[in-house]
Amino acid sequence: MRQLQALALSRSGASRLANPILQQLVREGHRDEETAGMLARTHKDLWAEASDPDERRVHLELAFRQYADAFDATLGYWTGINAATMALLLGNVAVAKTIARAVREQCLALHKKDASADAYWIAATLGEAALLLESWSEAEDWYGKAAAHGRGKLGDIVSTRRNARLILSHLNVDTARVDACFTVPPVVVFAGHLIDRPGRAAARFPASSEPAVRDAIRRSMATLAPAIGYASAACGGDILFSKRCSTRPRRRTSFCRTTAISFAARASIWERAATSEYWSGWNDRYARVLERAAEVVTASEQRMGTGSTSYEYGFRWLDGAAAVKADELETELITVALWDGIDGDGPGGTSWAV
């Protein structure tokens, strides 16, 4: 349980809190590869975060020692390849290449024995070993195979690409060829108009425009091919965007999952809509969007009024969550807006979001 706690902390960026938990586990005799490797990872993270050169050196040396000890004890290839990469970053080129050769032979044997078992990580490790041995074409070949095995595994792909970039940066080699193997699609956050209510004085998004809007969203999504889409679940542009996210054909390593935001002010719109013939069908679409979303977040349980505050809060939440995800995946954040180009009715609307 403590190991899982440390894993959760480190994955959420709190390696400084995870580190002492793992140190205590190792002191108690838990020297299995998973625990020792996780401890090494926290030192690697702390090395990356630190600005003081002496502190960076200490954490890098500790990361190397923990990875190397785990590899010596278990012969696990993932701690081995990380030990090799840490050795290179410390300037110990001979040690890095020695470990990389040993890991390479081990992974080649595993690949030959059963190409399906851990196929992604074996190919990715062979790619990293080839980089450490400065076999550029071989690295590109193995990374290409890893990408084929890792379709949809964005976290794994980002981790692999991050290590490759570290190695190439240290060797002063252009990262473009490796980056091309691991294309991480953008994260998209959506802002858009509600469909017009009956009797609206100035038409903005009339129901007659829905087919054209739907086509425009389809074209935009086909071009961007995002990994993840963030949107509210309001009637109009939000639902059309979210529906397209959930039905867009998947391409190579990319996939689209939607995070829908629901909060009280907009939930109350749907309750009123149920009594209006004009809104017929939107309630069902709303339910389907929430059902198909990879994640549904209720940002507030309070039933705020229909004023601008709730809309502003909702988009700030979406934009922030999307930005965090884009940082995590080390990819681009793109905002897609359904907007008539005119100043809106007040803060929190689409023109404000733009």
Is the confidence at residue 204, as pLDDT, over 70? yes
Residue with tokens 């785990």: 70
Is the confidence at residue 261, as pLDDT, over 70? no
Side chain identity, residue 96: A
Asked whether the beta carbons of 149 and 181 are under 8 A apart, the reply is: no
Residue 71 C-beta-side C-alpha neighbours within 13 Å: 24
CATH match for 187-353 among 3.40.190.10, 1.10.287.110, 3.40.50.1100, 3.90.180.10: 3.40.50.1100
Distance from the first to the final alpha carbon of the chain: 45
Asked whether the beta carbons of 150 and 191 are under 8 A apart, the reply is: no
Asked whether the beta carbons of 141 and 316 are under 8 A apart, the reply is: no
Ordered by start, the domain boundaries in the chain are 2-181, 187-353
pTM of the model: 0.76
Residue 279 in tokens: 């809104």
Asked whether the beta carbons of 192 and 237 are under 8 A apart, the reply is: yes
Side chain identity, residue 146: A
Q: What is the pLDDT of residues 262-277, one digit of tens each?
A: 443 343 333 444 445 5
In this structure, CATH architecture of domain 2-181: Alpha Horseshoe (1.25)
CA distance 65 to 63: 6
Query: How much of the chain, in percent, has pLDDT values that exceed 90?
Result: 58
Q: State residue 294's pLDDT score.
A: 84
Q: What is the pLDDT of residues 99-154, one digit of tens each?
A: 999 999 999 999 888 766 689 999 999 999 999 999 999 999 999 999 999 887 88
Residues forming beta bridges with residue 263, ordered by sequence position = 300
Asked whether the beta carbons of 290 and 262 are under 8 A apart, the reply is: yes
Average pLDDT over residues 28-33: 92
Distances, alpha carbon 63 to alpha carbons 47, 74, 200, 225, 231, in Å: 9, 16, 63, 37, 40
Is the confidence at residue 305, as pLDDT, over 70? no
Length of the chain measured in residues:
354
Residue with tokens 């959760």: 8
Q: Strands across the sheet with 228-232, in order? A: 295-300, 257-263, 228-232, 187-192, 333-338
